[in-house]
């Protein structure tokens, strides 16, 4: 998942990095300070991760791209974009496994 988070200074960078390290569902992360972009990889619900980062950093978080890695694609290391990420049923939580492109 790729997000836009305003990272102006080293203090903001440390806040975002600390918030990412506190989330156990995340496997890897990449913070691009000059582009104000954060890419994360792991098995998680994208909206929940964005909300957690927003609460911990007090920064606006904008989700730019979500890519889903299915079981068949995991063997081939190919990814396909997730078309509808905001639809969830009330009776179950949908976990999405995403990874960097």
Query: In this predicted model, which residue has the larger pLDDT, 74 or 33?
Result: 33
Structure tokens at 75: 């063997």
Cut 0.85: pTM above it: no
Instruction: Give me the CATH number covering residue 39.
Output: 3.30.70.100
Q: Which pLDDT value is given to residue 85?
A: 43
For the chain, the domain total comes to: 1
Per-residue pLDDT for 91 more than 80?
no
Per-residue pLDDT for 17 more than 90?
yes
Range of the domain at 13: 2-98
Would you list the DSSP string of 20-68?
HHT-TTEEEEEEETTTTEEEEEEEE-HHHHHHHHHHHH---EEEEE-EE
Evaluate whether 46 touches 54 at the Cβ level (below 8 Å).
no
User: Would you give the DSSP letter of residue 94?
Assistant: P
Read off the pLDDT of residues 23-59 as tens digits, 9 standing for 90 and up.
999 999 999 999 999 999 999 999 999 999 999 999 9
Please state, in angstroms and rounded to a whole number, the distance separating the CA atoms of residues 58 and 53. 8
């Amino acid at each position: 998942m790729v997000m836009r988070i305003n990272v102006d200074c080293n203090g903001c960078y440390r806040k975002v990095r600390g918030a990412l390290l506190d989330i156990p569902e995340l496997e890897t992360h990449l913070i691009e300070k000059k582009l104000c972009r954060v890419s994360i990889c792991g098995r998680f619900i994208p909206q929940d991760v964005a909300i957690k980062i927003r609460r911990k950093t007090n920064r606006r978080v904008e989700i730019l791209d979500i890519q889903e890695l299915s079981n068949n694609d995991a063997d081939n290391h190919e990814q396909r974009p997730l078309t509808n990420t905001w639809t969830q049923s009330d009776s179950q939580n949908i976990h999405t496994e995403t990874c960097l492109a």
